[in-house]
């Protein structure tokens, strides 16, 4: 907790001016309230008894009180303003750093962290920190000034009554400390449960078609209920511990109030202290305890924030992917000569996948990759793009080890069209131009026409200016895939990767797209992952994979003539 607080203060240090201004405003606001308490006693002393009232002095004191309260309220508003500014700016910086670090994580990081939980850290956890910071700065600054100024006035008025208050105060702090320490672990579990719930809801909402297709609504509700019940239990336990703080400290404060009354009464009798001073002390005892009560009142909020900080900093501290070596080169004038040399790789070190894989692809060749599900087809492409790094062996492009090529230049050399389409919230034009933001209108239109997407785009309400959501729900699956194909064509890369690129397109359009792809592939090394073998009969080289190994390779006719695995796979698709 201390380490997280220190790091949080490090972020806040960038906004020293706002913090100083909040402290100055807190001084004037709190000092004004404490001074007003003293003047309350002075006002009472202006009333000596029936018919013995100093009206002139009373009016002067009451006027002063009105001005002081007005100015204190104004300064209190300024405290809130600066506190909110600091909290929002700090959380903005943390959110930027968190997102930046996420971009630097290897894909394996996302394989082991639910997406909904990561999103929850960006939203729920950072919002908890922001809210807690705003109220803590306000209460901490105002409370500190109130305690110090109230203590100064009390010592000035009477040292014995002040000592009585000071003897009771440490009990309040000890009670708050031990209860807070007890409930902190419960708040950490609560935030973990919130992340789990967010992850589950994200999965279910994003896959409603599958849920409804398999009639899993009832089971989803039951699972949601189980997770929600777990959150209720951890939340109840956390709040129970936190809820003990405020009434416990208030109980101690009430004892302090009684002590002031008793000691003050004795002092009034023995030392002749006025009733006005005693009344001021009664208010001061409440003011002295108020900051502790306010802090204890937001204990749950503060503890939630500390639990959130653990989750946020674990994300910020996550080890990024291995950076490019200092002598890494930019891949320029790529010819597309690719070589896999005795490559080994596994997602789980206990479950080997690719073992000793070797092959070559030459400039301008179309390499098709086929095989049963889970044989390693997409993995091979992931290794080529360095989404994952190999365990052993070597992959080279134009004779250069890809481990010595910068990731950015390597990936810019490839154009990818995947089976799972991805669009972002924006216009059709922006989605097509994603890979080339500076593309002209004519180039965007040409790419759309080449991908046979132009005709359906023109039928949309606003044509190329039609705005689509991030899930592309306004378009069919086939239309979304045509847009991703147009995006790849516009990018005009040196090499291509097509992973079931036409899986959601009707047969007639697929034939047209295949012709466009063949034109796009001219002079480019291309990798095509396909289940429909009719689409890759013209490939220069077909790699047949099974269990992470290449078991056959050759052209379509060469493989058919051998009567092996590929022949059986091909015949199974055309048995009719």
The angle at the Cα of 362, spanning 361 to 365, to the nearest 5 degrees, equals 85
Range 281-310 average pLDDT: 72
367: nearest Cα among 570, 567, 554, 561? 554
pLDDT of 552 higher than 60 = yes
Chain-wide mean pLDDT for the chain?
Answer: 81
How much is the pLDDT for 468? Answer: 86
Which of the 8 DSSP states describes residue 433?
Answer: G
- Domains of the chain, by residue range, sit at 2-89+114-316, 338-573
Please determine whether the domains at 2-89+114-316 and 338-573 fall in the same fold group of CATH: no
How much is the pLDDT for 394? Answer: 93
User: Directed axis angle between helix 55-103 and helix 16-45, to 10°?
Assistant: 160
Range 533-557 average pLDDT: 87
**Confidence grade of residue 445 (pLDDT, cut at 50, 70, 90):** very high
Per the CB < 8 A criterion, the answer to whether 519 and 376 are in contact is no
**pLDDT, tens digit, for every residue of 363-393?**
989 999 988 877 888 888 888 888 888 889 9
Range 134-140 average pLDDT: 79
**Confidence grade of residue 335 (pLDDT, cut at 50, 70, 90):** confident
**How many CA atoms are closer than 13 Å to the CA of 39, on its beta-carbon side?**
19
pLDDT of 296 higher than 90 = no
> Looking at 92-96, 228-232, 531-535, which range is the least confident one?
531-535
**pLDDT, tens digit, for every residue of 479-495?**
888 888 888 888 888 88
pLDDT of 407 higher than 60 = yes
**H/E element holding 509?**
helix 507-521
> Looking at 177-181, 221-225, 451-455, 460-464, which range is the least confident one?
177-181
> Could you give the percent of the chain with pLDDT greater than 70?
88
Range 155-176 average pLDDT: 75
> Looking at 232-241, 310-319, 352-361, 369-378, which range is the least confident one?
232-241
Per the CB < 8 A criterion, the answer to whether 516 and 452 are in contact is yes
> Looking at 83-87, 283-287, 362-366, 446-450, which range is the least confident one?
283-287
Per the CB < 8 A criterion, the answer to whether 293 and 253 are in contact is yes
- 3-state SS class at 431: helix
Residue with more model confidence, 237 or 336: 336
How much is the pLDDT for 397? Answer: 92
The angle at the Cα of 347, spanning 341 to 349, to the nearest 5 degrees, equals 90
Is the domain defined by 338-573 classed in CATH 2.40.50.140? no
Range 441-469 average pLDDT: 88
- 3-state SS class at 396: strand
The radius of gyration computed from the CA coordinates of the chain, to the nearest angstrom, equals: 35
Give the highest mean pLDDT range of 164-173, 252-261, 359-368, 462-471.
Answer: 359-368
Q: What is the pTM of this model?
A: 0.65
How much is the pLDDT for 332? Answer: 85
CATH topology of domain 2-89+114-316: ABC transporter transmembrane region fold (1.20.1560)
Per the CB < 8 A criterion, the answer to whether 455 and 512 are in contact is no
How much is the pLDDT for 182? Answer: 66
**pLDDT, tens digit, for every residue of 248-260?**
767 776 777 677 7
Burial classification of residue 322, based on how many CB atoms lie within 10 Å of its CB (0-12 exposed, 13-18 middle, 19 or more buried): exposed
> CA-CA distances (angstroms) from residue 399 to 325, 340, 341, 487?
18, 11, 11, 29
pLDDT of 395 higher than 90 = yes
């Amino acid at each position: 907790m201390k380490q997280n607080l220190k790091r949080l203060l490090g972020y806040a240090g960038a906004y020293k001016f706002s913090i100083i201004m909040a402290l100055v405003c807190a001084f004037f606001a709190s000092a004004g309230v404490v001074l007003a308490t003293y003047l309350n006693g002075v006002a009472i002393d202006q009333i000596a008894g029936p018919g013995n009232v100093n009206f002139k002095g009373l009016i002067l004191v009451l006027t002063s009180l009105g001005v002081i309260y007005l100015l204190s309220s104004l300064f209190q508003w300024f405290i809130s303003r600066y506190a909110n500014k600091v909290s929002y700016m700090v959380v903005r910086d943390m959110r930027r750093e968190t997102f930046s670090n996420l971009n630097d994580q290897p894909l394996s990081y996302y394989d082991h962290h639910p997406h909904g939980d990561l999103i929850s850290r960006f939203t729920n956890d950072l919002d908890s920190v922001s809210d807690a910071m705003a109220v803590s700065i306000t209460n901490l600054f105002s409370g500190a000034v109130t305690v110090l100024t109230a203590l100064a006035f009390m010592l000035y008025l009477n040292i014995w009554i002040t000592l009585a208050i000071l003897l009771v105060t440490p009990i309040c702090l000890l009670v708050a400390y031990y209860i807070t320490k007890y409930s902190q672990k419960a708040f950490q579990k609560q935030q973990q449960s919130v992340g789990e719930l967010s992850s589950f809801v994200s999965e279910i909402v994003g896959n409603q078609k599958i849920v409804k297709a398999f009639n899993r609504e009832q089971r989803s509700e039951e699972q949601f209920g189980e997770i929600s019940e777990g959150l209720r239990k951890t939340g109840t336990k956390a709040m129970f511990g936190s809820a003990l703080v405020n009434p416990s400290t208030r109980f101690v404060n009430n004892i302090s109030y009684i002590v002031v009354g008793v000691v003050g009464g004795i002092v009034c009798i023995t030392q002749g202290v006025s009733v006005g001073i005693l009344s001021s002390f009664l208010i001061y005892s409440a003011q002295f305890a108020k900051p502790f009560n306010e802090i204890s009142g937001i204990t749950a909020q503060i503890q939630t924030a500390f639990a959130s900080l653990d989750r946020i900093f674990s994300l910020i501290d996550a080890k990024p992917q291995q950076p490019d070596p200092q002598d890494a080169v930019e891949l320029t004038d790529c010819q597309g000569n690719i070589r896999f040399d005795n490559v080994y790789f596994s997602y789980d070190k206990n479950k080997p996948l690719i073992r000793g894989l070797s092959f070559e692809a030459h400039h301008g060749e179309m390499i098709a990759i086929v095989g049963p599900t889970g044989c390693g087809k997409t993995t091979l492409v992931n290794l080529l793009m360095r989404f994952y790094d190999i365990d052993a062996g070597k992959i080279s492009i134009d004779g250069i080890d890809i481990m010595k090529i910068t990731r950015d230049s390597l990936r810019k050399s490839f154009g990818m069209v995947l089976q799972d389409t991805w669009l972002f919230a924006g216009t059709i034009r922006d989605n097509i131009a994603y890979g080339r933001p500076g593309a002209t209108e004519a180039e965007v239109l040409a790419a759309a026409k080449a991908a046979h997407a132009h005709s359906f785009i023109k039928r949309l309400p606003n044509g190329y200016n039609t705005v689509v959501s991030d899930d592309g729900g306004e378009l069919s699956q086939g239309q979304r895939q045509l847009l991703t194909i147009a995006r790849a064509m516009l990018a005009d890369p040196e090499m291509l990767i097509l992973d079931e690129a036409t899986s959601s397109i009707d047969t007639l359009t697929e034939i047209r797209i295949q012709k466009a792809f063949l034109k796009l592939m001219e002079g480019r090394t291309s990798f095509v992952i396909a289940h429909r073998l009719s689409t890759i009969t013209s490939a220069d080289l077909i790699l047949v994979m099974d269990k992470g190994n290449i078991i056959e390779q050759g052209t379509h006719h060469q493989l058919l003539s051998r009567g092996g695995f590929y022949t059986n796979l091909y015949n199974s698709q055309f048995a009719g």
